[in-house]
Amino acid sequence: MPDQDEQGLERRYKVRQVTNVQASWTERRRGDEGTFTLQLILDNGVEEYILAVEAEDLEPMLTLFAKSGYVTFDLDRKVLMFSNLAVK
């Protein structure tokens, strides 16, 4: 049975592993700027979350996904966490 500290952490954080990412671009209106979204597939489809991404943020985010060995997403705080990045 988990102790109280563990139970408190479970209530505070709902973190899932990002197991797949689907990038999309959608036209709003003809001639207007479009919208980028990243669909996060969490824990092999247990949950999904869609991020609306600014155009200038998309490339750095995709680079981090490619370079990271392990990505998690905190559903409550809406935070992506990239692990195992090489530090030079």
What is the domain partition of the chain in residue ranges?
A: 16-83
pLDDT digits (tens, 9 = 90+) for 19-67: 999 999 998 888 888 899 999 999 999 999 999 999 999 999 999 999 9
Q: Which two tokens stand for residue 4?
A: 């109280």
pLDDT at 2: 56
What is the arrangement of strands in the sheet containing 15-26, beginning at the earlier edge strand?
47-53, 35-42, 15-26, 70-74, 79-83
Residue 2 has φ and ψ, to the nearest 5°, of -65, 145
> Burial, 78: exposed, middle or buried (Cβ in 10 Å; 0-12, 13-18, 19+)?
exposed
10 alpha carbon, distance to own chain's centre: 19
